[in-house]
Amino acid sequence: MATVPPTFDALDPLAGRAPLILDNPSFKDITDAVIAPTERGDYRAWWMGFLVAVFFLGVLLVSIAWLFWEGTGVWGINNPVGWGWAIVNFVFWVGIGHAGTLISAVLFLFRQKWRTSINRFAEAMTIFAVICALVFPGIHVGRVWAVYWMFPVPNQMGTWPNFMSPLLWDVFAVSTYFTVSLLFWYVGLIPDFATLRDRAKTKARRLAYGIFALGWRGSMRHWLNYEKAYLLLAAIATPLVLSVHSVVSFDFAVATLPGWHTTIFPPYFVAGAIFSGFAMVLTLAIPARKIFKLEHIIHEKHLENMAKVILLTGSLVGYAYAMEFFVAWYSGNPYEQFTFVNRAFGDYAWAYWIMVSCNVITPQFFWFKKLRRNVSVLFILSIFVNIGMWFERFVITMSLHADFLPSSWDYFKPTFWDISTLLGSFGLFFTFFLLFVRWIPMVAIAEVKAVLPQASPHYDDSHTTTSDKAQEAVAHG
């Protein structure tokens, strides 16, 4: 702790705010605290969680194998509900991902320094959530051998995909989103891989982390380009994240179906995505920071800030629900009006009211600081938000069950394989996530160091000359 003078008080001397990281750690303390989980092997809670996750990953693989063998008839889809849980799960998982990009890119552009404690974590969540999302378009036709029809490649049929279709826009949007998120995440990781490499006690670790560190040597000439690249990645990821869920919403909004064909969908989907993503970050961060003893790095202030974002976006989502009803009534279109009355009071009213209670009522608790700072309350409410946002996509998709032609109305019921695929996708997500927390630093070490008060070259500036400094250094040994 030689670098920190003893006269450190509660406020950051430069920003005049409470410090972002508690306990006044030195740079080395940060390295040690963040890297500890990757160097220890005896986390029982981790092993238990990992075994459960791998079990559900197996469930997913079996469900997919059965789907490919038997066809989409194993799901509960019917006519007219041709889109079932596959699209619901797809939108759910893509939405989860958005919080990660928001934290890493948008908050970076807004110079929100508190993001450094949670961005690594949230970006990892983004990547794994998008992987889960990509599973569903890949499998949903049940004929995996035709999956290349989605891509603009020359093929034996001499055909090309239709670029006027939002479904094709989606292929480009989500795959770009995945690639850019992965690159962004990896760029952030390079200096931290170097830290792991330099601490490695075994040759295997040194080699493995060394390869990913690319020979990073902390050079300021490199940092200059690195920071510029990082800033530009943030600048392009910001419109990207807004475009991705907008394009996802076009999948619905460009169709002429009542309840889908509305201009409110893109902003409403983006708000919902950020809402659900922040809830998922809370769900993951609250246990992880406890198990891995990172409560001084991800502390109540960070959780509170996320709760505020949930309050804002949750209220936006609630506003969108109300506005959908208003527009349905105001449009004077009987089909539109029927769809919304049917949502709230028809066969799927149960799902609608689960959605409203979880998404509109839950965030309102976050008006109160006491609740925003209460970790147990945050954890429980974040799970309600997750559930509510899954139901939102379910409710939207189930607009299909009562379309223009009453004779073809039908009720969608999930089968065992629908449920097993959804649970299995959680297995996939948590398998990746648990591997991540054990092998990769879950907090951006270099970025957290950079927001410590002593990281500033003007910290403790008493305007001494450099020769005074040299004498000081000699005196302090």
Partner 1 sequence: MADKKNWGVLAEFDTPKDIYHACESIRDEGFKHWDAHTPFPVHGLESAMGLRPSKVPWIVAAGALFGATAGITLQWWSMVVEYPAIIAGKPFFSWPAFVPVTFELSVLFAAFGAVFGMLGVNKLPTFNHPLFTSERFKGHSDDKFYVSIESRDPLFDQRKTKKMLKQLGAVHVEDVVEEED
- Positions 245 through 304 that interact with partner 1 (CB under 8 A): 247, 250
Closest by alpha carbon to 408, among 79, 156, 116?
Answer: 79
41 phi and psi, to 5 degrees?
-120, 5
Instruction: By CB under 8 A, tell whether 454 contacts partner 1.
Output: yes
In eight-state DSSP terms, residue 156 is T
Instruction: By CB under 8 A, tell whether 416 contacts partner 1.
Output: no
Instruction: By CB under 8 A, tell whether 227 contacts partner 1.
Output: yes
Instruction: By CB under 8 A, tell whether 24 contacts partner 1.
Output: no
Q: Which of 333, 337, 415, 456 binds partner 1 (CB under 8 A)?
A: 456
Instruction: By CB under 8 A, tell whether 239 contacts partner 1.
Output: yes
Closest CB 184 distance from partner 1, rounded Å: 8
Output 247 or 282, the one with its CB closest to partner 1. Answer: 247
Instruction: By CB under 8 A, tell whether 176 contacts partner 1.
Output: yes
The token pair that represents 97 in the structure block = 């991902």
Output 91 or 180, the one with its CB closest to partner 1. Answer: 180
In eight-state DSSP terms, residue 440 is S
Output 182 or 323, the one with its CB closest to partner 1. Answer: 182
Cβ-Cβ contacts under 8 Å for 62 (sequence gap 6 or more): 420, 424
Total residues at the site for partner 1 (CB under 8 A)? 78
Identify residues 369-408 at the interface with partner 1 (CB under 8 A): none
Cβ-Cβ contacts under 8 Å for 381 (sequence gap 6 or more): 279, 362, 363, 365, 366
Q: Which of 130, 194, 282, 310 binds partner 1 (CB under 8 A)?
A: 194
Closest by alpha carbon to 384, among 366, 367, 401?
Answer: 366
Question: With b meaning 16 or more CB within 10 Å and e meaning fewer, what string describes 294-314?
Answer: bebbbbebbbbbbbbbbbbbb
Output 85 or 178, the one with its CB closest to partner 1. Answer: 178
Instruction: By CB under 8 A, tell whether 469 contacts partner 1.
Output: yes
Output 44 or 476, the one with its CB closest to partner 1. Answer: 476
Output 193 or 394, the one with its CB closest to partner 1. Answer: 193
Question: With b meaning 16 or more CB within 10 Å and e meaning fewer, what string describes 19-57?
Answer: bbbeebbebebbbebbbebbeeeebeebeebbeebbebb
Instruction: By CB under 8 A, tell whether 172 contacts partner 1.
Output: yes
Closest CB 458 distance from partner 1, rounded Å: 7
The token pair that represents 334 in the structure block = 């009987």
The token pair that represents 267 in the structure block = 């902003």
Instruction: By CB under 8 A, tell whether 220 contacts partner 1.
Output: yes
Q: How far apart are CA 257 and CA 261, in angstroms?
A: 6
Instruction: By CB under 8 A, tell whether 39 contacts partner 1.
Output: no
The token pair that represents 164 in the structure block = 């006027």
Q: Which of 49, 80, 210, 318 binds partner 1 (CB under 8 A)?
A: 210
Cis peptide before 80 (omega within 30 of 0): yes
Q: How many CA atoms lie within 13 A of 452 on its CB side?
A: 23
Which among 173-181, 262-270, 298-306, 434-442 is the span making contact with partner 1, rule CB under 8 A? 173-181
Identify residues 326-345 at the interface with partner 1 (CB under 8 A): none
